[in-house]
Amino acid sequence: MKIVVLDGYTLNPGDLSWGGFEALGEFTCYERTEAQDIVSRIGDAQAVITNKTPLSRETLEACPSVQYIGVLATGYNVVDTIAAAERKIPVCNIPTYGTNSVAQMVCAHLLNICHRVQDHSNSVLKGDWSECADFCYWNSPLIELAEKTMGIIGFGRIGQATARMAQGLGMKVLAFDEYPNKDLEGEHLRYGTLEEVLAESDVISLHCPLFPSTEGIINKDSITKMKDGVIIINTSRGPLIVEQDLAEALETGKVYAAGLDVVSTEPIQKDNPLLGAKNCFITPHIAWAPREARSRLMNIAVENLKGFLSGNIENRVN
């Protein structure tokens, strides 16, 4: 079997092995593939593996040898799954691999906002402490999280992992989910309505998927309902936030700070209003990317292809 990976670089920039795939057939991996090269690179391969390179109906029509599509991610919107199903091509994704990594990133953003570790270290390294008249100083407000309320919108795998970490910091958790599981409630964790989460939270962390119903869930109107000085963390999907509205709320201080791992268009556009907004911290969509999580993702992707080859297909989405 010929196996082609169209865009393997972000999963494996060199610190993992493609050996699992190599053992299954004639294997070719491209780091990235531009639109005009997709068809020629697939050629007569039977298994196509993609992360973000689109596989459209036209591409599948032009590549009749394709029998299997593996997606190196949870989201599979880059593949025309209906066109694939019509051609009896299974599409398999990786439903979960980095829950703890993403929750940890929420904490990284939150603790950065509360302590500005890097900023203070930079300040010390450039000599500010040596010049200081006192034994200590700080350049930004320092915030203790214990007893504060962490509002979590979307209480699935990552939301719940985030809640466990927040409770470890002594926070109370107020969760909103379309399908609440009341068994999860406890002394420091309860469900509320979206209105309650907006009104009562000191920190709001977004963990719902991007659906038409959740797009722009953080906007001028919902921000107005939040506490003054709220902190917003988004590691889910950029379009959950109306970025212009958040940028304005950061400027006025209504929102004290934001920690974002995702933005509306990625890579971020130079004119994104959040670039340069006050107290806005942005990382380049890396919550999923600790080596441990990528390694897990790689193993599941290999197992998916093995499952297809042995007739026991798993994680099929179409």
237 is annotated as an active-site residue: yes
Closer Cβ to ligand NAD, 139 or 213, answer by number: 213
β-pair type (68-71, 47-50)? parallel
> Please, which residues have CB within 8 angstroms of residue 216's CB and are 6 or more apart in sequence?
239, 240, 241, 242
Closer Cβ to ligand NAD, 90 or 151, answer by number: 151
Q: In this chain, which stretch among 109-117, 182-190, 229-237, 271-279 interacts with ligand NAD, using CB under 6 A?
A: 229-237
Nearest to 120 by CA among 105, 135, 138, 133: 138
Q: Does residue 256 touch ligand NAD according to CB under 6 A?
A: no
Largest Cα–Cα separation, the chain: 74
294 is annotated as an active-site residue: no
Q: Does residue 262 touch ligand NAD according to CB under 6 A?
A: yes
Closer Cβ to ligand NAD, 60 or 73, answer by number: 73
Select the residue interacting with ligand NAD from 70, 90, 98, 238 (CB under 6 A). Answer: 98
Handedness of CA 138, 141, 147, 151 (dihedral sign): negative
Select the residue interacting with ligand NAD from 90, 151, 159, 192 (CB under 6 A). Answer: 159
Residues 167-196 that bind ligand NAD (CB under 6 A): 176-179
Select the residue interacting with ligand NAD from 28, 56, 67, 96 (CB under 6 A). Answer: 96
Catalytic residue set: 237, 266, 285
Sites of contact with ligand NAD (CB under 6 A)? 74, 96, 98-99, 102, 153-159, 176-179, 207-211, 213-214, 235-237, 261-262, 285, 287-288
